[in-house]
Amino acid sequence: MTLLPYRRAGRSGLDLSAFSFGLWQKFGTDYAYETQREIVLHAFDLGITHFDNADRYGPPHRAAQQFFGTVLKRDLAPHRDELILSTKAGNPIGPGPYQRGASRKSLLGSLDQSLRDLGTDYVDIFYSHSPDLTTPLDETVSALAAAVQQGKALYAGISNYPADRAHEIAGLLRRAGVPLLVHQPRYSIFDRRPELTGLLEVAEEDGFGLVVYSPLAQGLLTDKYLDGVPAGARAQNSAFLSPDVIDETYRERITGLNKLAAQRGQSLAQLALQWVLRRPEVTSALIGASSTEQLDHNVKALDFAPLTDDELAVVDKYGVHGTGLRL
């Protein structure tokens, strides 16, 4: 197995592969099992050891975990000690009061079901998927701490928390004896919130790493939309991306970024991935893939020289926060 570079998660003792594999999209029952399996096993062969899941991923909800549980049982069980498996709970997965939110009941009940889905006794990281302002933060913390103390998770994480609440929950977890390992925010050239809201500074202060998702901005930071919206593109049927964002302003900015990538001898996607990984606060970047070829291409982002100050200035010129995104 060819190993990717590993990076330390904050001030913990855990290293994660520079790229993590996310099963957020294209790993439900709508997709062919053998294709999904081939991609996951290829990711492992490339040295990606962190596989990120959630009770919500599908469709339907929990299908991505159940898929991965099958692959784990049939193919990856001998390598369980080499894997970092993560899951999340808290985003809505049904109409019931315990199928959403960050209460102790919701989080720990979902975790038990996720362990059954995955066919494993524990996950390495258990996340609160998003803030729940209707639940006291200390109750959410007690659930994350209990998951670790009961041996159902090795580490605690959070996702989508604003900087101030991330700082608060990190302090509460520290006092509970279960330090916050990682925070999973959205971060890309077009989504600068971790920079603008102080989250990067909070990560440094509180000693947790960032595992960033959507580094390609749902495909906006690829060459797919340089000339409009092609047939079959994600923008035609995605809840997270609309064709109306592929406008003249977007095309002007993406053309400038694509020109910079070409000057560096890389693709726009590789530039975008390299850009998020330039920050020391970022432990790992989550990527998905619809083919093994796409996965190979994206992982090669690590092969290029670091971005210079002049090149970063060009990225800042064209990488305007909020471009093409629903923030």
Evaluate whether 93 touches 61 at the Cβ level (below 8 Å): yes
Evaluate whether 40 touches 290 at the Cβ level (below 8 Å): no
Q: Among candidates 23, 37, 49, 13, which has minimal Cα distance to 284?
A: 49
Looking up tokens 């993406």 gives 254
Evaluate whether 272 touches 189 at the Cβ level (below 8 Å): yes
Q: Which two tokens stand for residue 147?
A: 């998951």
Note whether residue 266 is domain-resident.
no
Note whether residue 200 is domain-resident.
yes
Q: Among candidates 15, 4, 97, 73, which has minimal Cα distance to 45?
A: 4
Q: Which two tokens stand for residue 132?
A: 């729940």
List, for residues 155-169, the tens digit of each pLDDT value. Answer: 999 999 999 999 999
The predicted structure's pLDDT at residue 227: 81
Mean pLDDT, residues 271-297 taken together: 97
Note whether residue 82 is domain-resident.
yes
Q: Is the model's pLDDT at 2 over the cut of 60? A: no
Q: What is the CATH number of the domain that holds 177?
A: 3.20.20.100
The predicted structure's pLDDT at residue 325: 83
List, for residues 76-118, the tens digit of each pLDDT value. Answer: 999 999 999 999 999 999 999 999 999 999 999 999 999 999 9
In the chain, % of residues over pLDDT 70: 95
List residues bridging with 22 in a β-sheet. Answer: 52
List residues bridging with 213 in a β-sheet. Answer: 186
Overall domain count for the chain: 1
List, for residues 23-66, the tens digit of each pLDDT value. Answer: 999 999 999 999 999 999 999 999 999 999 999 999 999 999 99
Note whether residue 320 is domain-resident.
no
Note whether residue 255 is domain-resident.
no
Note whether residue 256 is domain-resident.
no
Note whether residue 12 is domain-resident.
yes
Supply angle C-alpha 204, 153, 34, rounded to 5: 100
Domain that holds residue 27: 6-217+275-306
Note whether residue 183 is domain-resident.
yes
The dihedral region occupied by 198, where left means phi > 0, alpha psi between -120 and 50, and beta the remainder, is: left
